[in-house]
Amino acid sequence: LSLTSAMMFSQLEGKNSLNLERGYNILDLNSLDMSTIRALVKEEKKAEVVAQWVKVLIIKSINNGVLSVPPPILTRVFQELDVSMGVYHGAERFSQVPFPFPYAATLDLLMILHTLITPFVVINLVGENAFLPIPLCGLVIFVMWNLHLIPAELENPYDGDMNDL
């Protein structure tokens, strides 16, 4: 995992630390000196800082003669770096927009009403003496509550829980 990707994942999870103990196997972290790592830990926008470091390193390498790259290829490298940051910012926006509370509260209330009313409706439709209303009612309520609770798990898909990306 590259350092840039690790910083993006860490920020998308909502954590503002390097989180090296979480299990990110960062490629060649030992090549960075401790002052660089300390500077990165202090930064709020870690992914942007690492992306900028990569760009500066590319420019310095070209000026020193370490990289001999034709300009069209070089512009493509910078374009891909910028595209990856754009995709990251889109994912970050997606993870920061909360589900509207009034809508969620209304859905909770409707689900409670559904749970209370459905047994009476099913008994009236199927009949009181039949065995079918009990499992049918339980199945309908179970399915509806599961469909209601799935979006809560997906509200922040980058959080780091078991069901998250």
Answer whether 99's CB lies under 8 Å from 155's CB: yes
* Domain parsing of the chain, residue ranges: 3-96, 101-154
Q: How far apart are CA 25 and CA 4, in angstroms?
A: 12
Query: Does residue 18 carry a pLDDT above 60?
Result: no
pLDDT per residue as tens digits for the range 77-103 = 889 889 988 888 887 777 777 777 888
H, E, C per residue of 60-124: HHHHHCCCCCCHHHHHHHHHHHHHHHHHHHHHHHHHHCCCCHHHHHHHHHHHHHHHHHHHHHHHH
* φ, ψ at 154 (rounded to 5°): -95, 0
Kindly compute the dihedral angle of the four CA atoms of residues 159, 160, 163, 165, in this order, to the nearest 10 degrees. Answer: 80
What is the band of 147 on the pLDDT scale with cuts at 50, 70, 90?
Answer: confident
Query: Does residue 158 carry a pLDDT above 90?
Result: no
Rounded to 10 deg, the angle between the 101-126 and 133-154 helix axes is 170
In this structure, of 6-15, 32-41, 46-55, 77-86, the range with the lowest mean pLDDT score is 6-15
Percent of the chain with pLDDT over 90: 7
pTM beyond 0.95: the answer is no
Write out the two tokens for 81. 């770096």
Q: How far apart are CA 122 and CA 160, in angstroms?
A: 40
Query: Which of helix, strand or coil describes residue 160?
Result: coil
What is the band of 113 on the pLDDT scale with cuts at 50, 70, 90?
Answer: very high
- The average pLDDT across 100-108 equals 85
Query: Does residue 20 carry a pLDDT above 80?
Result: no
In this structure, of 6-10, 42-46, 88-92, the range with the lowest mean pLDDT score is 6-10
Mean pLDDT of the chain: 78
Query: Which of helix, strand or coil describes residue 44?
Result: coil
For residues 83 and 156, which has the higher predicted lDDT (pLDDT)? 83
Cα distances (Å, whole numbers) of residue 66 to 63, 79, 149: 8, 21, 55
* pLDDT score recorded for residue 21: 45
* Max mean pLDDT range (47-51, 98-102, 110-114): 110-114
